[in-house]
Amino acid sequence: MNLKLKALTKSIWVFHAACSPCNNCDIEVLDLLTPRYDVERFGIILAGSVRHADALLVTGVPNYKTAQRIKKLYEQAPKPCFVIAVGSCACGRNMFRESYNSPCNLDEIIPVDIYISGCPPKPEAMIAGIVKLIKKVGSSKGY
Amino acid sequence: MSHKVIIPIGPYHPLQEEPEFFRLYIEGERVIDIDIVIGYNHRGIEELSEHKHFDQVAYLVERICGICSTSHPFAYVNAIEDLAHIQVPERALYIRTIIAEMERIHSHLLWLGLAGHFIGYNTVWMWAWRYREPILDCFEMITGNRNHYAMMKPGGVRRDILEEHISPLKKTLDELNKATDMFYGAVVDDPVIKARLKGIGILTKEQARNWCVVGPTARASGIDIDVRRDDPYGAYDRVDFNVIVEKEGDIFAKTLVRIKELYESIRIIRQCLDKMPKGEIETKIKEIPAGEGIGRVEAPRGECFHYVRSDGTNRPIRHKIRAPSYMNVASNKIAAVGGTISDAAITLAAVDPCYCCTERCSVIRKKDNQKLLTGWDLIKLSQEKTEKLKKEMGL
Ligand code: SF4
């Protein structure tokens, strides 16, 4: 594992981008920061700009208006950058699959590293997902 | 200094958890105009609804918005029951009311937290969300999920409130009552919160009426409307509660309305738990006849309206939704203009906007002769904003 990746797994700064979610996933993400779950103790905080972030957390189904913006956001992120898809919407478009305003899955726009499904996933599930990601990156040689 | 500056906020801005885009026109420190560009959240729910059968639509409309995830299904089932003249069992009505009021509590606490966050009081945020957790636990206990409860179904509710759920719920309510006392004290007595919120973002009664605002936003401006009392649905006509109205119309009044409504919600749930009769929780529906029906619900943000038309098949042929934020967001134009830029964030947040709700039906885009600033260079926009802010503050 190279140095950059090693540093990346230490305390992950997350940029949260909502591309037309129903808000619930976003609220649960914010919930992670509040006293009960308090992920700040692991060094995880929300970054104000994607250029300062180690991970891009995406919620919701991409629609025509947000799809291009998500792509641009990913392009602006310093690499390597994890992409975390939170919620069934971001993982596979949930029940909005047939919508006229939902062109494609998120992973057809940007490469997704980890899918946390659930509608919305519980905060515990999100923490478990991130732990799995870190473990996997830690154990892999190349990435 | 009086040159005109445009400050873009969004669509991806650290302050917002939803994509939305405001363009503030600034002269010196004053906001002279504001453009609201929405459409980032449009998912085509009304059209999707016409491809799902009546039972599935309840799940779909639940996913319009995560915060009012009972209000939309509640309004929808009201519309269906109005359409098909279904008599809902008494117990189901009480359960619906309890769930709806629990949702109001969690939504108001959530707003209180975010409002605290917007004015730089992160302590308020943490405390409010801390007290929100027990309510979510109760939701999980009763419905099986922390959010998106899937309780409403045409003709009744999906799950019963069991005997063993009642005492933990009552205990949570007692604790919440104490916490609300604390919040009330903290907001009313705190000089800083007063200075930040009093006299800011005023919406007078007349303006409120002209802009057709609903819910707490209207009630804070002295308009006495509440669907729960004016057109009772669920079990609201069987319980006793007050409609909170304040006169001032500023953000402080909006905060007060929401905090006082917490007390009322707690009272309603307690009464429902005591009065709830035993019995069935749903009526079996054989078919939905052709016709049309409407359903109204007082969501945490105001009146939520659903219209369903059926042609006798198993799908609605038209489903129209009007969410409360659709009315409330536009009033930002009045409330924010004339204020200072530093108050803009809290003013924009004061109506408790919910774009997920608003954007299911139409993409609204205001065209003007100004160049549309896209959100492509986030950091630049963000820095620009800070810099402008600094510059203006220094001047
Ligand atoms: S996965 Fe569910 S909770 Fe999350 S944004 Fe989609 S509909 Fe909302």
Q: How far lies B305's CA from each of A139, B261, B293, in Å?
A: 53, 21, 11
Tens of each residue's pLDDT in chain A, 143 residues: 577 777 777 788 888 888 888 888 888 888 888 888 888 888 888 887 888 888 899 988 888 888 888 888 888 888 888 899 999 988 888 888 888 888 888 888 899 989 999 888 999 999 998 888 888 887 765 54
Say if strands B21-27 and B4-9 run parallel, antiparallel, or are unpaired: antiparallel
Q: DSSP characters for B175-241? A: HHHHHHHHHHHHHHH-HHHHHHHTTSS---HHHHHHTT--HHHHHTTT----HHHHS--TTGGGS--
Q: How far lies B359's CA from each of B64, B90, B126, B178, B362, in Å?
A: 9, 34, 29, 37, 6
* pLDDT-derived band at B384, boundaries 50, 70, 90: very low
pLDDT higher than 70, residue B40:
yes
- CATH number of the CATH domain containing A122: 3.40.50.12280
Question: Are B241 and B388 members of one domain?
Answer: no
Q: Do B66 and A50 touch (CB under 8 A)?
A: no
Number of domains in chain A: 1
Q: Is residue B28 part of a domain?
A: no
Ligand 1 center from residue B132 Cα (angstroms)? 20
Q: Is residue B14 part of a domain?
A: no
- Contact predicate B121/B193, CB 8 Å: yes
* Domain boundary residue, one of B279, B310, B330: B330
* Both tokens assigned to B78: 């009201």
* Both tokens assigned to A127: 């923490």
Number of domains in chain B: 2
Quote the pLDDT of residue B98.
92
What value does the mean pLDDT take over residues B297-302?
88
**pTM exceeds 0.80, yes or no:** yes
The pick from A16, A23, A25, A116 for probing ligand 1's pocket by mutation, whose C-beta has the most ligand atoms within 8 angstroms, reads A25
Report the C-alpha gap between B173 and A19 in whole angstroms. 35
Question: Are B321 and B390 members of one domain?
Answer: no
| Shortest Cα distance, chain B CAs vs residue A116, angstroms | 16
- Contact predicate B24/B341, CB 8 Å: yes
What value does the mean pLDDT take over residues B208-231?
88
Quote the pLDDT of residue B362.
33
Say if strands A55-59 and A13-18 run parallel, antiparallel, or are unpaired: parallel
pLDDT higher than 80, residue B260:
yes
Pick from B17, B43, B64: CB nearest A102: B43
Q: Is residue B217 part of a domain?
A: yes
Question: Are B290 and B392 members of one domain?
Answer: no
Question: Are B316 and B372 members of one domain?
Answer: no
Ligand 1 near B66 CB (within 6 A) = yes
- Contact predicate A56/A81, CB 8 Å: yes
Q: What is the mean pLDDT of chain B?
A: 79
* Both tokens assigned to B317: 């042929």
Amino acid occupying residue A132:
K
Question: Range of B322's domain?
Answer: 45-330
* Comparison of pLDDT for B333 and B212, the residue scoring more: B212
Q: Do A25 and B48 touch (CB under 8 A)?
A: no
Quote the pLDDT of residue B174.
92
Question: Are B54 and B156 members of one domain?
Answer: yes
Quote the pLDDT of residue B19.
63
pLDDT higher than 70, residue B216:
yes
| Shortest Cα distance, chain A CAs vs residue B186, angstroms | 19
Q: Do A34 and B17 touch (CB under 8 A)?
A: no
- Contact predicate B11/B378, CB 8 Å: no
**Radius of gyration over alpha carbons of chain A, in Å?**
14
* pLDDT-derived band at B341, boundaries 50, 70, 90: low
Question: Are B251 and B389 members of one domain?
Answer: no
Q: Is residue B18 part of a domain?
A: no
| Shortest Cα distance, chain B CAs vs residue A93, angstroms | 11
Q: Is residue B344 part of a domain?
A: no
